[in-house]
Amino acid sequence: MVEGKLLNKPKLNLTDSNINPLLKELRSRIKSLNPRIEENVRAYYLSYRFGNCFTYLWPTKTDIWVYFRTDANFKDNKKICENVPKGINANFNKRAKAKKSNVDYIFGLVEQSFSQLKEN
């Protein structure tokens, strides 16, 4: 399924008791960065703002894509990020799949995106 074509994608249901534990963990950790971070729950994704949006989570049936706003100082030492395909979202230029095995590393990338936003 192409992400831009959402007609067949079920909407997020954050009240579902079976919500992905990884999604819960990422939401909690992102909101803990600063009490002024706003979480916006959209039909298909969650965005996080601190003045401007610095990351969003795009859950699918099998994965959670995490999108980052990056600059030249962004460090992805494990090289797990890929460029965001054209037409997906012009505000974010990198993305990576979050897994239980890489959640700490992914959160470090989220922290970088947040820090870069705070510095600008």
Residue 95 lies in a domain: yes
Q: Is residue 1 part of a domain?
A: no
Quote the number of domains for the chain: 1
Contacts 24+ apart (CB under 8 A), 99-102: 99/22, 99/63, 100/21, 100/22, 102/78
Which residue range forms the structural domain that includes residue 32? 21-119
pLDDT tens, 73-82? 899 999 999 9
Domain presence at residue 15: no
Query: At a CB cut-off of 8 Å and minimum separation 6, what does 101 contact?
Result: none
* Residue 14, in any domain of the structure: no
What's the CA gap between 78 and 99, in Å, rounded? 14
CB distance 57 to 65 below 8 Å? yes
Q: Note the helical H segments in 2-102.
A: 21-31
Q: Nearest CA to 49 among 84, 9, 91, 90? A: 91
Pick out the chain residues at pLDDT < 70: 1-19, 89, 119-120
The answer to whether residue 7 is domain-embedded is no
pLDDT reported for residue 71: 85
